[in-house]
Structure formats: C-alpha cells, structure tokens
Structure 1
Amino acid sequence: MDDYPAVRDLLPAPSLPPEVERAGRDRLAAAFAQERVRRRRRSARWSALALGLAGAAAAAIVIANVAPAGVPVPHGAVAQADGKRFLLVAAASVAAVPDEGAWWGSTEVQGRQFHEPGGRYVLRESESVETWIPADPEGLTWYRQTPHGIKPATPQDEAAWVADGSPASWTFDKPTEIGRSGVVRSEPRERLTWSTEDWDFRILTAGKPLTKMNEVPDTPEGLKALFAADDRTTIDTAARLLFFAPVTSRTRAAAYRLLASMPGVTAAGQVTDVLGRAGQAVEYDSTEFAPPTYRGPTRTRLVIDPASGSPLSLEVRSAADGLLLTYTALQDSRWAEANPLEGE
C-alpha cells in the first residue's frame, strides 16, 4: 500500500514559489541525512534516561507544517482503515522533527470534570504542570504546578451556575464521578515549584519496565514486539509514548503507525479538544487513564494535529453518556538548551 496519497489527500501542499519549495526540500533532506549521526551522538548521553509516566509529552520544534511533496511516508505498518490514515500523516510530519537538546520541557493542562451535587451543571477543576527533564542523568527534574481552581465547564454550565447563585463551594454527601467528596472550594491552591532526583522514569507495561531510551524501537513492529501485550495494553502504551515520554521523533512516528494498525482504534473525525484546538481524533475502549474511583466503562480519545505531528489532548469520557471525566492537554513540548525553572 502506498501511504503517501493519504498525506496528499488530507493535507494538499500550498502553492509556493519554486525557490521556496527548493529551499524547503533541501532543508528537509539535510535533516534526514543527519538523523543517523544525531542518534549515534545522543545514544550515549541518554543511555541511563528512562521513560516517564509523569512529565513529558509530544514533539519538539516543528520544521514543517505539511509533509512536503516528494517526501515519502515511512513504511512498515500493516494496513489500516481509511479513517485512521491521518495517523500516517502525523507520523510523516513528526519523523522530520529534530530531537536533541539538554532539556526536554513540556507544559500540560490537566483537568477533571464532575457534576455539582444537584446534577444541574458540570464543574471543571484544572491545573497547569510544567516539567523539565534533563538529558544529564545526574541532573534534577524540575516541576511547576499552577492550579486554576474550579469553574463551570461550558457556557451552558456557567449559566446554570449563575442561576444557582454563583456558589464558591459545594458540599458532596457522596463522591463525585472522579471521587471528590466533602466540601469542594472553587479558589485555586498556591503555585508550587520543586525539583527531584527521580530522573529514572519508567513506563510499566505487561509487567516490565522500559528503562533505556536508546533501546526503544523506532518501528511499529519493534514496539509491538517489545510491549508483548494484548491489544488494549499495546494501544495504551503507544498512547503513553506519544503523550508522556521524551522518546525520539522516529519512535513517536512508529507509535502513530502502530496505532493506525491496531484493531479497536476507531476514527472520530475532526474534533475540537478541551482547549478549543481543532484536530483529528481516534477513540478506543479503555479504563487505563480513567479516574480510579470511576466504576463505569470509559473510552479514551486521542486528539492529534496531523500537520505538525503533535499530540493535542488525551481525553477520558464515560462510555454511557459521553461526559468528559479527565484530560491531559499538551500546550507545548520541546527540546531546549536551558531550563527556565532551574534555580527558582
């Protein structure tokens, strides 16, 4: 199967002057030519760095918004449904992203939603988490947590909240959908910045840790063999690599292609994520990222920007009524030479 028509059909190249197109192709060709050299140079530096459940996220500095004409989509995944072909576009885009630097930084918005005690409107509790993971295994990992408090989730919920007298606190006699109970207040907690020595992050899957970044495969077949798990665990772990781990661009591209090949992953089409950004989405049945106290079945939605290859948000919804329960939205992720939190 020729995957490039998926890129051409979904993201037709804009009209460019010939000299601009030639310069762009030369730049991309040079990046591909240097990829092998970069990977060898970085493998020693990263040999002790493990993958993380907390912290890191998607791609670094995007050098192209559209897969340029003449650049092939990497091959290696088995056939996939047409509705998921945008994952191949994302794989082609992210494979060209440089992935070197002294620090891997990401900013996430994490949120939880639940009904107020009377069930008349939905509340959203959220916070921003900025994380900086060092390439140096002896360095400290830095975090900044900025709570945003609790607010009505949508304009419709805000109208119902106003009609309720605009309360600043709520008393729950029984736990909410996400397990909150007792008195819940709207005001945010204070911002915290701290560092830890737990640089040795791990992703646990199928009962074993993935510890060394340079040992993680960069093909979909290699990832699937490494996970050695059932389909649902394989899908969940591929999602972790995309959203939370500082893996190489080629490994991230392989994770996209693996998702495209997996049964149970269905296309949800064009959507708007929790931060109002447009993207393409896939969904699958899973309780892996659901609140631990939620007892009903849930579906996980992955929202992707195919043009840049960047993951946008991971959303967990009730399978019964579609209520958004929790989410992680990636505002930014990149390699950098300096950590702005260090020394604060």
Structure 2
Amino acid sequence: MNDFRLVDAVMPDVAPPDPAKAAEARARVLGGRRRRSVPRWAGVLTAATATAAVIGAVAVVAVPSLGGGPAGPAVTVTRVNAEEVLAAAADRLARRPEATGRRYWRGETEEVVRRRIGVAGHTFLADERVGQTTWLGPGRKRTIVISGLGTRPVTAADRAEWRKAGSPRLCGADTDCDNDMVPDGKTRYIVSDTEEVLQQGALELNGREIRDLPRDPAALRERLLSYWPAQWKAMKKNVPAQVRAESAERDDWLWGIGESLLLGTPATPGTRAAIYRMLAGLPRARVVDGIRDADGRAGVAVLRGDGRGEPEKQLVVDRETGEPLAVQQVSPAPAAGQERLPVNRLYSRMVKRLGWTDDEPVVPKGCDPDGKKDCLR
C-alpha cells in the first residue's frame, strides 16, 4: 500500500492572558467538570506516537500547509478559549446516546500526503490520497476496503511544472505505479474471519472490551497503562539500547492508542470524549483552535510536539459535534540554510464517516478469507 504521513500548519503558541483562568480551563478539559476553586496545575501526563511507519525518504522543500489554500490560514485564538471549546465539544460528545442494534461499525477515512516530487529536472508539490473503509461487528467478518484516489499537483504553478516534466503518471513519491499495494484508480479488498478490533503492541482489545472502556479520563489512562509493562518488556527485548526514557516511550504509545481508538474502533461516545481529555493532559500537549485538515475543515485541536525537532502530532475535533475531524503530523519549519534537507512527510488522516450501520459491505466474488485470488479490482 502507498505509505502515508502528515500535513497542515503548526499554529503559533499563544500565551494565556490570565493564569488563573487558564488553570480553570485546564481543569475543565482534564476533569470534565467546572470547579469553584482553581487547583494548582501540578504537572502533566504523556503524549505522542508515530501513526504509521515511514517507508523511504522524500525530499521536501518549504512544503506549504494542507488546507492552507482558498479556505485560508488557521485561526489563532487564546489558549483559554481553545481549551473551553474543546471541553464543550467533549461534553457534547459524551452526552450522545450510544447506537445499539446495528449490524456493523463502519469507519471511513481518507489519507493525504503532501510532498515535493522531482521528475526530469522539474519539482512540484503533489497531494497523494488513499481512502479506507473498515467494517466490523460482533460475529461478523472484518472487511477493509482501500482505494487509490490519485496523486495530483497542488497549485497552478505545480501543474505547470508537472506539464514541463512531460505530464508523467504520478503514484506517490515517484512515477513507478506497478509495485503499490493499492495503485491509483484501483481498490483492494481484505476480508478476515478474525474479530481483531485493536492490536497495538502488547495491547489487544476486542469489540466488547473496547465498548467497556472507562468514560473517565483518569480511569481510562489507568486501564490502558495496565498493558504497558508487557509492552515495555517487548520493546526492551527488540531494542536493547533504548535512546529515550521509559516515560517518553510510554507516552508515545499512549497517544497512538488514543488515535487508534478514535478512528478505528467502535469506542463509545463517552470513551472518545475521555480520550480528548486524556490527550490534552499529556506532557507538552496544548489546545489550539482553528487548526485545519487537508480539506480545509477547521476545528479545535490537541497538539503535541516532543521538543526535539520531530513532527508535531495533531488531533483535530469538530467544535459543534465533538467528532474527530483528522489526525495529522506536521514537520517543523526547516532552519535557515537547511530548506533543502530531507524532512519527514506531511500527513493527514481525515474522518469522513464513523458509526454504526445496517449497510452491508459490497465485496467482489472470491474476496473472502478462503479466496485464492488477488482481491484488487
């Protein structure tokens, strides 16, 4: 499958105008309720993970933000207001009734990579897109449908450079389209008898276990971290010389689980709201309003960087519904004189539709677990 990484603009960090109000807002985000007295902000928790493995290196030169076109730049507001917006969105999501009696949980997302491509001496920016729909349900086959949606130059200037290069066929980072798992214009069907809802390292949760996860952020964190000792033991075995402290590795792992639960599992509205609050309390995490995804949709976001020049991770939430809009990664701006050095890719995974349905997945004949044919159509 084409590999993907992240996209969109890093928002400036605006200092809170009033420390007392900021502390009160943080208490609401993390605790889910308003307090009369303002507690002392006594430290933060954890954060960040790699959403997927990067395959190969891509040279990126001053890549503009996804969603930064006609929709305009991201809107910056004060941190206090942003945290209040996130708290209100989480509250609305938590109050939503859980759907019952439906046959399948369906998650539909679209991944976008923006990168600079070089062909025949010409370079231009291009967006590579892949759509994925996952169907799963109690006692039902798990079905994943992945479609290559194409790679296209971004702006008029990029299209002009692409034409000067001979208008080559584009497939991600190059023009070799034969080896992709999901070539542009094609769809791959993956059907399995196994339930396997969430598996991340030592953590394995089926659908029932996911729906039973706590709705309180502190209790949710405690439940998830009960799996950490086994995960850390496996990591030390596979990577004996640990470069980072255990707490940093644990925080990355925890952030990744939060992303996976939000976008790929039938977690309840209450649990998803608790995930927002849990992630907002991680070390080096902050809440900013007006962050845009690759399609220009703006929302309130939890941002988390590790302070080592690595890509910043972003969770963008719809202000009104409380539903996730996207998870993203944004590479930091290159230092002066280093604009042409390779950097990590820019990536956005946008949510198109999440929830329970009675619709059945449509799968071509032969694309079942026992099928011998390559299910690429």
After TM superposition, the score normalised by the length of structure 2 is: 0.58
Provide the rounded CA distance (Å) in 2 between the counterparts of 1:159 and 1:315. Answer: 28
Q: Quick one: which of 210, 222, 233 aligns to 1:213?
A: 210
Do the aligned partners of residues 208 and 271 (structure 1) sit closer, same or farther apart at CA in structure 2, a change above 3 Å counting?
closer
Per-residue deviation, residues 139-159 of structure 1 (Å, max 9, x unmatched): 101222221122113454334
Q: Quick one: which of 323, 326, 347 aligns to 1:310?
A: 323
- Say whether residues 1:257 and 2:277 are aligned partners: yes
- Say whether residues 1:200 and 2:220 are aligned partners: no
- Say whether residues 1:298 and 2:318 are aligned partners: no
Q: Where does residue 93 of structure 2 map in the other structure? A: 94
* Coordinate RMSD, CA, aligned: 3.6
2:123 counterpart SS class: coil
Residue 281 (structure 1) shift: 2.2
Structure holding more strand per residue: 1
Q: Give runs of aligned pairs for residues 35-46 of structure 1, distance below 5 A.
A: none
Are the counterparts in 2 of residues 297 and 320 from structure 1 also a CA contact under 8 Å?
A: no
- Say whether residues 1:222 and 2:212 are aligned partners: no
Provide the rounded CA distance (Å) in 1 between the counterparts of 2:297 and 2:330. Answer: 18
Provide the rounded CA distance (Å) in 2 between the counterparts of 1:103 and 1:182. Answer: 38
Do the aligned partners of residues 232 and 169 (structure 1) sit closer, same or farther apart at CA in structure 2, a change above 3 Å counting?
closer
Residue 270 (structure 1) shift: 0.4
Per-residue deviation, residues 127-169 of structure 1 (Å, max 9, x unmatched): 11111111x2x31012222211221134543343244443325
Given residue 95 of structure 2, which amino acid in structure 1 is its aligned partner? A
Do the aligned partners of residues 193 and 286 (structure 1) sit closer, same or farther apart at CA in structure 2, a change above 3 Å counting?
farther
1:92 counterpart SS class: helix
Are the counterparts in 1 of residues 117 and 125 from structure 2 also a CA contact under 8 Å?
A: yes
Provide the rounded CA distance (Å) in 2 between the counterparts of 1:271 and 1:119. Answer: 31
Q: Give runs of aligned pairs for residues 7-46 of structure 1, distance below 5 A.
A: none
Q: Where does residue 183 of structure 1 map in the other structure? A: 176
Structure 1, unpaired ranges of 5+? 8-52, 55-79, 171-177, 288-295
Are the counterparts in 1 of residues 109 and 350 from structure 2 also a CA contact under 8 Å?
A: yes
Per-residue deviation, residues 116-136 of structure 1 (Å, max 9, x unmatched): 1257322222111111111x2
1:98 counterpart SS class: coil
Q: Where does residue 295 of structure 2 map in the other structure? A: 275
Query: Is 304-313 or 240-249 further displaced after alignment?
Result: 240-249
2:176 counterpart SS class: strand
Are the counterparts in 2 of residues 142 and 341 from structure 1 also a CA contact under 8 Å?
A: no
1:158 counterpart SS class: helix
Identity %: 23
Residue 268 (structure 1) shift: 3.7
Q: Quick one: which of 294, 319, 332 aligns to 2:353?
A: 332
Structure 2, unpaired ranges of 5+? 1-22, 30-50, 53-78, 229-249, 335-342, 366-377
Q: Give runs of aligned pairs for residues 46-65 of structure 1, distance below 5 A.
A: none
Residue 259 (structure 1) shift: 2.0
Are the counterparts in 2 of residues 84 and 282 from structure 1 also a CA contact under 8 Å?
A: no
Do the aligned partners of residues 283 and 119 (structure 1) sit closer, same or farther apart at CA in structure 2, a change above 3 Å counting?
farther
Provide the rounded CA distance (Å) in 1 between the counterparts of 2:304 and 2:217. Answer: 18
Do the aligned partners of residues 152 and 214 (structure 1) sit closer, same or farther apart at CA in structure 2, a change above 3 Å counting?
same
After TM superposition, the score normalised by the length of structure 1 is: 0.63
Given residue 208 of structure 1, which amino acid in structure 2 is its aligned partner? L
Q: Where does residue 123 of structure 2 map in the other structure? A: 120
Residue 112 (structure 1) shift: 2.6
Given residue 263 of structure 1, which amino acid in structure 2 is its aligned partner? P
Residue 190 (structure 1) shift: 1.8
2:302 counterpart SS class: strand
Do the aligned partners of residues 340 and 200 (structure 1) sit closer, same or farther apart at CA in structure 2, a change above 3 Å counting?
closer
Are the counterparts in 2 of residues 144 and 193 from structure 1 also a CA contact under 8 Å?
A: yes
Provide the rounded CA distance (Å) in 2 between the counterparts of 1:214 and 1:280. Answer: 25
